[in-house]
Amino acid sequence: MVGTGPALQPLADKVSGAWVAFARTGNPSHSRIGKWPAYNAADRPTMHIDNERKMVNHPDHEERLAMAQFNRLPMF
């Protein structure tokens, strides 16, 4: 899913660094990705980690609203 080549290892370092930081401190922020704000239901801040990191509020908002209707369907 992420391909091959020289960009692969820096991406792996960012992701594994976030897991290590989270395991140690409860916060995934670290020097390779910067500050990762705590999640809250109002803004839904989400980190998209790729060759560049990007914070996104309310990712996939329209899709989430569309799928919410299925929670109201009767179960068989």
pTM: 0.69
Residue pLDDT, tens place only, 61-76: 888 888 888 776 665 5
Q: Whole-angstrom Cα distance, residue 18 to residue 40?
A: 19
For residue 23, what are its two tokens? 């395991």
The fraction of the chain above a pLDDT of 90, given in percent, is 28
Q: Whole-angstrom Cα distance, residue 21 to residue 40?
A: 20
Residue pLDDT, tens place only, 37-64: 898 988 989 988 887 888 899 888 888 8
